[in-house]
Amino acid sequence: MTSAITAIVLAAGQGRRFRALSGQDKLLAPCVGRDGVTRPVLEQVLVNLPASVTRRWVVTSPERSEVVRLAGSYGCEVLLLDSAGMGDSIAAAVAASSSAAGWLVVLGDMPFIQAASIERVIERVEGLSVPVHAGRRGHPVAFGPALGPVLMGLTGDRGAKALFAQTEVREVPVDDPGVLWDVDVPQSLEFR
């Protein structure tokens, strides 16, 4: 099932808080990955996707040409969307890849997730699978094919959080604090 999962990397958000503090797009900010190599935040996310996830979509806004270029250089299909809403992004990407055997929703500002953690999350996707570290649910989240119609119905900035109460949730324990670490401010570019 792993190879049939489609990754959806959400990269349409504006990152206003990060931009206000640094003056730059957080997805393009230089970031030292867990492998010690400095790359833009989004590139770290794409590098960390396991090779077994061969179908990849990046959802971003039309004016982000560097994000589009990075996505293309990693073999991702790009879906341009005028909305920064997480619900709109998920719905559009699931509709564009409706024949998938499931979807892995990855946040474009979470550069420290280990590929092994992602592999564990997508081992068995029937309902909803979520990584858990230190008792807290993190990202990315995998959705089984039966949830496709519900995902396509999402709108605005509301993500799929409501689905956690409506479907079977498989919590996947991982020893990876990266599943909880997103880059919202410049200080969070440094993983500790």
Q: Does the pLDDT of residue 68 top 80, yes or no?
A: yes
Per-residue pLDDT tens for 5-37? 999 999 998 888 999 999 999 999 999 999 999
Q: Does the pLDDT of residue 186 top 90, yes or no?
A: yes
Would you list the DSSP string of 102-161?
A: -EEEEETT-TT--HHHHHHHTSS-SSEEEEEETTEE-S-EEE-GGGHHHHHT--TT--SG
Residue ranges and CATH numbers for the domains of the chain are 2-182 (3.90.550.10)
Mean pLDDT of 130-154: 94
> Residue 155 has what pLDDT?
87
